[in-house]
Amino acid sequence: MGTERVPQVLKRTMPGTGDEVSILGFGCMRFKRNLGATDMEKAERLVAAALAAGVNYFDTAYIYPGNEKATGALLNKTDELGKRRDRVFVATKLPFMMVKTREDMDKYLLASLDRLGMDYIDYYLVHSISDFAAWEKGKRLGLPEFLRGAKAAGKIRHIGFSWHGNLHDFRLVVDDFDWEFCQIQYNYLDENFQAGTEGLEYAAAKGVGLVVMEPLRGGMIVGKMPPAAKRIIEGYRDASGLKRSPAEWGLRWVWNHPEAGCVLSGMNEPAQVEENCRAASDALAGSLAHADLAMIGSVRDVFQGAIKVNCTGCAYCMPCPYGVNIPSCFASYNSHAMFGGMNAKLMYNFSMRGGKGKPQKASACKKCGVCEKKCPQHIPIIKTLEEAAGTLESPFFNIMVKVADRFIG
């Protein structure tokens, strides 16, 4: 397949780094696996197709089993255009949840470099910061000095973090260090979830580059779309008369925001690479028409008709005297209501386990009522936390979390 026939994905200048990054990034975590090992033959076809279309940002992480090694092997190859490594940006992540000492930081960085088979990492993220307290703990362990030192030594080029907490704490973390970029979850269902639209715009205003993960909610706003929402998309044509898939509309909604420098997609089929690259070849910021946005809004309304609690994630109810992460508990409760299944429960129980002696889960509520006095939405927080705990928590998950804590602390 000649590159001259392949539509080239658009690029945007990443604030904070100055790099020209493809608006479509390759999320390598979802490479197919056979008997526990990456299917390298299939991964090669996917990566080669993405590279031919101009995708130049590839994302992996220390904790993705075998993924750094596979990603490195694919990107260290030489093809008809020369060395792949010379024309791509590689992102990987410090497993922050596993760090217990300053020495651990060096150990994990060197391990990532060794697995990747590379001398430096372009975009290095502190993986999964969930609140300001976690960042403060990192500071006490020497995390800022480690990051600056690794950059000065040429082992990493740009410093960032990935976020899985509320908007209030996100702002605090953005303001507390000279970050060059960050990675947030963002899609048309998550305008008020975690960092959300306000966080996206806040970071951009501070000159911090934005990488977006979960633009399709892990495929949920495609594969688990309610029939009514699916009918809306299937019956809609844009101004040019084109019908587009749920996946393309989801991606285009994110790209419509100029702040979104690079949007990650976990592509694991050739058709997905082809469709996403084609969409990324003309997805200009601000290009969606009013009718397009109204259609997506109608789809969003169908999803949100299933939500249990009208929480906007403003965090005015925080901090809870007993450590409950109220906005995140409600977000997980709503996610489970919309999509069902085990995913929301798994994410909730692992992300809300907190530090030892500091639970963040809904069941830690002591019914003091401080939060309800501060909630601008007048949500019956105590009662709703009790309902959330009954839905999301169980002895099974408590055992899983205890086993996990033995390994990651």
- CATH label of the domain that carries residue 27: 3.20.20.100
Would you say residue 80 lies in a domain? yes
Would you say residue 223 lies in a domain? yes
Do 262 and 178 belong to one domain? yes
Would you say residue 316 lies in a domain? no
The rounded Cα 67 to chain-centroid distance in angstroms is 17
The answer to whether 365 and 322 are in contact (CB under 8 A) is yes
Would you say residue 321 lies in a domain? no
* Residue 407 backbone zone (phi > 0: left; psi -120 to 50: alpha; other: beta): alpha
Residue 348 annotated to the active site: no
Do 30 and 82 belong to one domain? yes
The DSSP H or E segment spanning 124 is strand 121-129
Would you say residue 318 lies in a domain? no
Do 67 and 12 belong to one domain? yes
Do 259 and 366 belong to one domain? no
**pLDDT of 2:** 43
The answer to whether 216 and 222 are in contact (CB under 8 A) is yes
Q: Would you list the DSSP string of 156-218?
A: EEEEEEEE-S-HHHHHHHHHTS--SEEEEE--TT-TTSTTHHHHHHHHHHTT-EEEEE-TTGG
Do 290 and 363 belong to one domain? no
The DSSP H or E segment spanning 307 is none
Do 370 and 255 belong to one domain? no
The answer to whether 361 and 329 are in contact (CB under 8 A) is yes
pLDDT tens for the chain, 409 residues long, are 444 567 899 999 999 999 999 999 999 998 887 767 889 999 999 999 999 999 999 999 999 989 999 999 999 999 999 999 999 999 999 999 899 999 999 999 999 999 999 999 999 999 989 889 999 999 999 999 999 999 999 999 999 999 988 899 999 999 999 999 999 999 999 898 889 999 999 999 999 999 999 999 878 788 778 889 999 999 999 999 999 999 999 999 999 999 999 999 999 999 999 999 999 999 999 999 999 999 999 999 998 887 788 776 777 798 899 999 998 898 888 888 877 777 778 878 877 765 544 668 999 999 999 999 888 678 999 999 999 999 999 888 777 666 666 655 4
Do 402 and 290 belong to one domain? no
Q: Tell which residue, 67, 54, 65, 51, has the closest CA to residue 22.
A: 54
Would you say residue 112 lies in a domain? yes
Do 246 and 372 belong to one domain? no
**pLDDT of 3:** 42
Q: Distance (Å, rounded) from C-alpha 252 to C-alpha 250?
A: 6
Q: Tell which residue, 212, 164, 32, 214, has the closest CA to residue 222.
A: 214
Do 293 and 330 belong to one domain? no
319 in helix, strand or coil?
coil
Q: How far apart are the first and last CA of the chain?
A: 48
Under 8 Å CB-to-CB from 128, ≥6 apart: which residues? 93, 96, 97, 162, 163, 164
Residue ending a domain, choose from 297, 317, 345: 297
Q: Distance (Å, rounded) from C-alpha 159 to C-alpha 52?
A: 28
The answer to whether 232 and 295 are in contact (CB under 8 A) is yes
The answer to whether 226 and 302 are in contact (CB under 8 A) is yes
Would you say residue 305 lies in a domain? no
How many separate domains does the chain show?
Answer: 2
Which domain range does residue 354 map to? 326-408
Do 15 and 89 belong to one domain? yes
Do 345 and 225 belong to one domain? no
Catalytic residue among 57, 64, 333, 348: 64
Would you say residue 320 lies in a domain? no
**pLDDT of 403:** 67
Do 284 and 192 belong to one domain? yes
Q: Distance (Å, rounded) from C-alpha 350 to C-alpha 401?
A: 6
